[in-house]
Amino acid sequence: MKLLPLILFVLMFQSCLDKKSETTSEVAMKENIQTNEDDFNSKKVVSLNFDELEQRYLQKNNDSIYIINFWATWCKPCIKELPAFEKLASDYSDKKVKLLLVSLDFPDKLESQVIPFIKKNNIQSEVVLLDDADANSWIPKVSPQWSGAIPATVIYKKEDRKFYEQSFTFEVLETELKTFL
């Protein structure tokens, strides 16, 4: 049982290794780089434990649709799909659609990796860092189907909830969102 967190970490890390060549979305992400640090949307990236994340973001019961994406700066498939999430948030900004990017990077990497990554890639969506090492307890609370691999996404509106342990293209993500509209 003590090896379970280590096994989950190794599985998450392996699922994020991607040897494919650079895609259009990765190129688009690089073209979005801000050269002026002052242009960064200076929203503070907060660290939350799972109880705080669950209370603030995973249990909303209003007319909005919530898209919660679990990712990390070291996960190539996660980074590859981020432009799709950013585009969706932008395209549906006039609708009741809320996007949250939940970083699973280590808490000590917030200042050295997460915030610079957000600045470099001009991420406009809200980002929080999940600072809760007890993955064995919170992963099944997000979804009983979640193995712990990332990227992973929850889309919900009130009690209607879907979980995805996969990467998204913009088209597939938008199709899934439309099932909630």
What ranges do the domains of the chain cover?
Answer: 43-178
Average of pLDDT values for 144-159?
97
Cβ atoms of residues 72 and 156 within 8 Å? no
Cβ atoms of residues 162 and 152 within 8 Å? no
Q: Over 60: is that where the pLDDT of 83 sits?
A: yes
Whole-model pTM?
0.79
Task: Provide the residue type at 3 as one letter.
Answer: L
pLDDT at 36: 36
Provide CB contacts within 8 A for 180, sequence distance 6+.
65, 155, 156, 157, 160
Report residue 47 as tokens: 């660290």
pLDDT at 15: 53
Average of pLDDT values for 110-122?
96
pLDDT at 44: 79
Mark 23-58 as b/e (b = at least 16 C-beta within 10 Å): eebbeebeeeeeeeeeebeeeebebbebeebeeebb
CATH fold for domain 43-178: Glutaredoxin (3.40.30)
